[in-house]
């Protein structure tokens, strides 16, 4: 993906300017709904909560805002009514593991509704809906009672503002972003990291049959239950996964393997970076001939600790001649975090969690920063989002480019894969059709 050069104005951009007439926002409608997954109290799980089936845990929560260790995710939908009667939508959502590693605590939907229908409506109704960037950036800084509004609210509102701009300008959200940031959209869909739950091997098989570009992004939350005190459970899983790809996949199928460890290697090996490096290198050998990405092998107590440990493990992998790449998620919550990790020299791959970043504009800026600095960015988010926020993310990906996207919402794999693939292919088909028609 390249930035548009001077003198290379595409036809659709000229059309965007021609159709970008004023369209006012006349009303805001809100509703409280459900997300695609759940919230999990990770500190409680790591403190030894007893599993109660494949999802739940017995015990008391420890993270503020939780009433149970696992509880249903909730959302707030924002609908912006435009003066021609069309309605633009966005969903406020947040990640599964809220309230840790610098993340904001769980939001209360009813409180978000009060803010949306009060000060936000007062500031937004009557405004021109045709320009996305300036409005989204303004509301990303919006404060109520001297405090910046919750990232989930900034995320949902920016989705609605992007949808409103696309509706008022009679173009796709992909083209709105490309126009306002001077980008050339991708001409093919992005690779997708497809989720497959650790114990659901039928789900693994479906993703292999569908030739998922990257898999399985399954969560390994517990040393005791998922990884093993010496990593033996993880080794068994990897061995079975690689074998299954060979058994089920077509001969030319060469996916990238991506596992998310949620800090469990740091716990299992007491943050001994030499031992962690050796174990990760061993996983890379097990994954051969497939490329391996390892997300969050450690989660530091602070961002600086994260930097120190990642730097040491990366140096260890290099010394061992391993080509495994480490992906940072926790402590890379904001654009400033991403810039700090890059400045420290430890950011080669990053999982961009769209709800953590707040406004969609911050995700766009993060992707642009990563591309400019040679950082492989996974345009992710959370299983705890919605179909609507996933479709908006697909447009961001097409406009900005990324190393890959991750499936969302939910952890079913198939559903998130379908939503992202279909939204990207529909959008690309619309853009191609318009270009063939000369406008």
Contact 355, 152 (CB under 8 A): yes
With a cut of 80, say whether residue 329 has pLDDT above it: yes
With a cut of 90, say whether residue 245 has pLDDT above it: yes
Region 317-321: mean pLDDT is: 98
Region 358-385: mean pLDDT is: 96
Burial group, residue 199, by CB count within 10 angstroms (0-12, 13-18, 19+): exposed
Q: What is the pLDDT of residue 16?
A: 45
Domains of the chain in sequence order: 11-181 (3.30.390.10), 192-436 (3.20.20.120)
The model's pTM is 0.91
Name the residue with tokens 């997708």: 192
Structure tokens at 275: 């031992």
With a cut of 60, say whether residue 5 has pLDDT above it: no
Model confidence at 17, pLDDT cuts 50, 70, 90, reads very low
Q: What is the pLDDT of residue 411?
A: 84
Q: What is the pLDDT of residue 330?
A: 87
Contact 163, 90 (CB under 8 A): yes
Region 195-222: mean pLDDT is: 92
Q: Distance between CA 149 and CA 269 in Å, rounded?
A: 39
Q: What is the DSSP letter of 96?
A: S
Q: Distance between CA 63 and CA 44 in Å, rounded?
A: 7
Q: What is the pLDDT of residue 412?
A: 80
Report the 10 Å Cβ neighbour count for 439: 11
Q: What is the pLDDT of residue 439?
A: 57
Question: Can you list the alpha helix ranges (DSSP code H) found in 64-124?
Answer: 109-115, 121-124
Q: What is the pLDDT of residue 165?
A: 97
Counting residues of the chain whose pLDDT is more than 70, the rounded percentage is 95
**Set 40, 46, 353, 408: catalytic member:** 353
List pLDDT tens digits, range 247-256: 999 999 999 9
Q: What is the pLDDT of residue 429?
A: 97
Between residues 10 and 367, the one the model is more confident about = 367
Report the 10 Å Cβ neighbour count for 157: 30
List pLDDT tens digits, range 80-124: 999 999 999 999 999 998 988 888 899 999 999 999 999 999 999
Return the sign of the alpha-carbon dihedral for residues 125, 127, 132, 136.
Answer: negative
Q: Distance between CA 180 and CA 207 in Å, rounded?
A: 36
Return the sign of the alpha-carbon dihedral for residues 243, 245, 247, 250.
Answer: negative
Our answer to whether residue 408 is catalytic in this structure is: no
Q: How many residues make up the chain in this entry?
A: 439
Quote the mean pLDDT of the chain: 93
Reduced to 3 states, what is the DSSP secondary structure of residue 392? helix
Q: What is the pLDDT of residue 368?
A: 97
Name the residue with tokens 């766009």: 364
Model confidence at 21, pLDDT cuts 50, 70, 90, reads low
Between residues 77 and 262, the one the model is more confident about = 77
Model confidence at 18, pLDDT cuts 50, 70, 90, reads very low
Between residues 2 and 187, the one the model is more confident about = 187
List pLDDT tens digits, range 381-413: 999 999 999 999 999 999 999 999 999 999 888
Between residues 2 and 401, the one the model is more confident about = 401
Region 138-164: mean pLDDT is: 97
Q: What is the pLDDT of residue 430?
A: 95
Model confidence at 1, pLDDT cuts 50, 70, 90, reads very low
Q: Distance between CA 380 and CA 296 in Å, rounded?
A: 14
Q: What is the pLDDT of residue 201?
A: 94
Structure tokens at 408: 């969302």
Q: Distance between CA 129 and CA 161 in Å, rounded?
A: 7
Return the sign of the alpha-carbon dihedral for residues 160, 162, 166, 169.
Answer: positive
Q: What is the pLDDT of residue 7?
A: 42
Closest CA to 379 of 360, 144, 388: 360
Model confidence at 438, pLDDT cuts 50, 70, 90, reads confident
With a cut of 90, say whether residue 8 has pLDDT above it: no
Q: What is the pLDDT of residue 218?
A: 87
Region 160-175: mean pLDDT is: 97
Contact 75, 139 (CB under 8 A): no
Contact 409, 390 (CB under 8 A): yes
Between residues 43 and 5, the one the model is more confident about = 43
Report the 10 Å Cβ neighbour count for 173: 27
Model confidence at 170, pLDDT cuts 50, 70, 90, reads very high
Contact 416, 195 (CB under 8 A): yes
Query: Which residues have a Cβ under 8 Å from the Cβ of 285 and sit 6 or more positions away?
Result: none
With a cut of 50, say whether residue 19 has pLDDT above it: no
């Amino acid at each position: 993906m390249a930035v548009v050069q001077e003198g290379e104005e595409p036809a659709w951009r000229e059309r965007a300017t021609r159709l970008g007439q004023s369209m006012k926002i006349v009303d805001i409608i809100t509703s409280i709904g459900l997300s695609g997954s759940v919230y999990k109290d990770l500190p409680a799980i790591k403190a030894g909560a007893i599993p109660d089936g494949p999802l739940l845990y017995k015990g008391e929560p420890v993270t503020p805002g939780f009433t149970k260790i696992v509880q249903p995710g909730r959302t707030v939908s924002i609908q912006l009514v435009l003066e021609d009667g069309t309605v633009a939508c966005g969903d406020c959502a947040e990640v599964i593991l809220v309230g840790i590693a610098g993340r904001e605590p769980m939001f209360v939907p009813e409180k978000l509704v009060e803010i949306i229908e009060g000060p936000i409506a007062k500031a937004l109704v009557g405004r021109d809906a045709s320009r996305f960037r300036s409005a989204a950036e303004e509301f990303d800084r919006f404060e109520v009672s001297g405090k910046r509004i919750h990232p989930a609210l900034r995320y949902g509102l920016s989705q609605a503002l992007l949808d409103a701009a696309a509706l008022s300008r009679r173009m796709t959200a992909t083209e709105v972003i490309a126009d306002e940031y001077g980008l050339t959209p991708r001409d093919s869909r992005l690779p997708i990291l497809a989720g497959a739950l650790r114990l659901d091997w039928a789900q693994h098989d479906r993703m292999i049959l569908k030739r998922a570009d990257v898999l399985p992004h399954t969560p390994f939350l517990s040393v005791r239950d998922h990884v093993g005190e010496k990593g033996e459970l993880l080794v068994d899983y990897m061995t079975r996964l690689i074998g299954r790809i060979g058994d089920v996949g077509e001969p030319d199928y060469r996916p990238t393997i991506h596992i998310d460890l949620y800090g469990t290697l740091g716990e299992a090996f007491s943050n001994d970076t030499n031992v962690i490096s050796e174990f990760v290198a061993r996983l890379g050998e097990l994954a051969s001939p497939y490329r391996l990405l390892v997300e969050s092998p450690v989660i530091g107590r602070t961002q600086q600790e994260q930097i120190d440990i990642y730097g040491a493990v990366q140096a260890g992998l290099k010394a061992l001649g391993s080509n495994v790449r480490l992906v940072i998620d926790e402590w890379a919550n904001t654009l400033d975090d991403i810039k700090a990790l890059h400045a420290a020299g430890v950011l080669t791959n990053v999982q961009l969690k769209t709800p953590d970043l707040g406004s969609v504009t911050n995700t766009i800026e993060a992707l642009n920063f990563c591309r400019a600095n040679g950082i492989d960015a996974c345009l992710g988010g959370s299983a705890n989002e919605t179909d609507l926020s996933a479709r908006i993310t697909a447009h961001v990906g097409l406009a900005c480019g990324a190393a890959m996207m991750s499936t969302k919402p939910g952890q079913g794999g198939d559903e998130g894969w379908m939503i992202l693939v279909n939204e990207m292919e529909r959008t690309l088909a619309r853009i191609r059709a318009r270009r063939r028609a000369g406008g």
